[in-house]
Amino acid sequence: MLLNIMTDILKEEIEERGYLNVEVDKSVDFVKEINALKKEKNAVILAHYYQEPDIQDIADYVGDSLGLSQIAAETDADIIVFAGVQFMAETAKILNPTKKVILPDLKAGCSLAESCPPQEFKAFTDAHPDHIVVTYVNCSAEVKALTDIVCTSSNAVSIINAIPKDKPIIFAPDKNLGKYLIKETGRDMLLWDGACIVHEAFSIDKLLTLSAEYPNAKIIAHPESEAHILQTATYVGSTAGMINFVKTDDHDEFIIATEAGILHQMMKEVPNKKLYAAPAQEDNTCACSECHFMKMNTMQKLCICMKHELPEIHVDSEIQKRALLPIERMLDVSSGKVSVLNL
Ligand code: 13P
Ligand code: SF4
């Protein structure tokens, strides 16, 4: 079995390619294989809303970054298969370090996480030692280890509001979410200059044209989008928040400004409502509202990864300990256990 012959060559191959390049017979039924592997290995598949539809459909849980980390923290499965991007799988490993956490493609990164190299971020925080450091979960384990409290898009406002008013704040790495939080909370913050390539690709001109074409459609947006997009939105929230909004709102037409993968779950939840994807700047053949990192995971890679339990996520134990505290603080504020942070 490949698992037992994990040689240096194999490790190098995974590092270089991001996944195991095993040839697969065309006749393999991935759905059947993956379901069998789930049982055989007591594995749980967690998928983000931006994953391709087949992966969402076979997952045990589909959710936003907060919901998936809550499940990862509590699962009693032996293996957590994270169908998402690297920072999400790392967060699962930090929260539940005794579990084996695997990711179908190790190269599934994130432009926000890449925009914040730990060394540069350390120099930035060292230059402002009196500031409370808040980081969006879309960052590396090393950056989380330099953080006082982590947040996700669904709890960012309550996290900022839980920080005593006299404390200055650094917010990283997403400047768009940071600007939104300054507006929502009235707090002044030093922002790191990072952004999500997918959410920055929306075209305001095309969005307004689409909105004029469907005047009854409410615009809803993810807070990683730029301020001019957010200004047009009736609702701004996380992926789970956006799904909940279209489910509970009495309107039946919506324009959705986030990664297009979310439309799969939304259409399942509200099959009778009309949903339009917000257009990206490029022409209509461009898949700019798709995150190419998220889409690196495929059913084939998922199946091979479960079979051979590779690639596996490893987090240095010192980093894991330091990164755990700010994530646990976030979970405490999110669950209502803590309302004022004593930092
Ligand atoms: P949420 O899942 O927290 O809404 O954010 C998603 C995200 O940025 C994934 O890229
Ligand atoms: Fe990162 Fe943006 Fe992709 Fe989310 S959609 S994983 S923030 S690049």
**Predicted model pTM:** 0.95
Burial (CB count within 10 angstroms: exposed 0-12, middle 13-18, buried 19+), residue 158:
middle
Structural domain tally of the chain?
3
Contact 294, 84 (CB under 8 A): yes
| Predicted confidence (pLDDT) per residue in 202-238, tens digit | 999 999 999 999 999 999 999 999 999 999 999 999 9
Domain membership of residue 282 (yes or no) is no
Cβ(334) to ligand 1 under 6 A?
no
Q: Which residues lie across from 101 on neighbouring strands? A: 80
Domain membership of residue 52 (yes or no) is yes
Residues 192 and 326 in one domain: yes
The residue range of the domain holding 242 is 204-277
Residues 304 and 326 in one domain: no
Strand intervals (E) in the chain = 43-48, 61-63, 79-83, 100-102, 132-136, 149-151, 169-172, 189-191, 218-221, 235-236, 253-257, 274-277
Between the CA of 79 and the centroid of ligand 1 the distance, in Å, is 23
Domain membership of residue 119 (yes or no) is yes
pLDDT of the residue at 53: 98
Grade residue 125 by pLDDT with cuts at 50, 70 and 90.
Answer: very high
pLDDT of the residue at 21: 87
* Continuous segment of H or E residues that includes residue 227: helix 227-230
| Predicted confidence (pLDDT) per residue in 90-113, tens digit | 999 999 999 999 999 999 999 999
Q: Which one, of 108, 117, 236, lies nearest residue 179 by Cα?
A: 236
CATH of the domain at 155: 3.40.50.10800
Residue 1 has pLDDT above 50, yes or no: no
Residues 178 and 248 in one domain: no
| Predicted confidence (pLDDT) per residue in 48-61, tens digit | 999 999 999 999 99
Residues 307 and 271 in one domain: no
| Predicted confidence (pLDDT) per residue in 265-321, tens digit | 999 999 999 999 999 987 565 556 899 999 999 999 999 999 999 999 999 999 999
Domain membership of residue 51 (yes or no) is yes
Domain membership of residue 139 (yes or no) is yes
pLDDT of the residue at 6: 59
Pick the residue whose CA is nearest to atom 3 on ligand 2: 291
Residues 299 and 325 in one domain: no
Alpha-carbon distances of 173 from 69, 125, 203, 279, 318, rounded to whole Å: 19, 12, 22, 25, 22
Residues 91 and 60 in one domain: yes
DSSP annotation string for 78-146:
SEEEEES-HHHHHHHHHHSTTSEEE-S-TT---HHHHT--HHHHHHHHHT-TTSEEEEESSS-HHHHTT
pLDDT of the residue at 343: 87
Residues 179 and 43 in one domain: no
Residue 66 has pLDDT above 50, yes or no: yes
Q: Which one, of 168, 194, 97, 182, lies nearest residue 343 by Cα?
A: 168
Domain membership of residue 285 (yes or no) is no
Q: 253-257 and 274-277 as β-strands: parallel, antiparallel, unpaired?
A: parallel
End-to-end alpha carbon distance in the chain: 49
**Rounded CA gap, 35 and 3, in Å?**
19
Residues 21 and 66 in one domain: yes
Residue 4 has pLDDT above 80, yes or no: no
Cβ(86) to ligand 1 under 6 A?
no
Domain membership of residue 137 (yes or no) is yes
Residues 68 and 89 in one domain: yes
Residues 253 and 234 in one domain: yes
Ligand 1 atom at shortest distance from the alpha carbon of 224: 8
Domain membership of residue 143 (yes or no) is yes
- The chain-wide mean pLDDT, for the chain, equals 95
Degrees to nearest 5, angle at CA 84 with 27 and 111: 125
CA of 221, nearest ligand number: 1
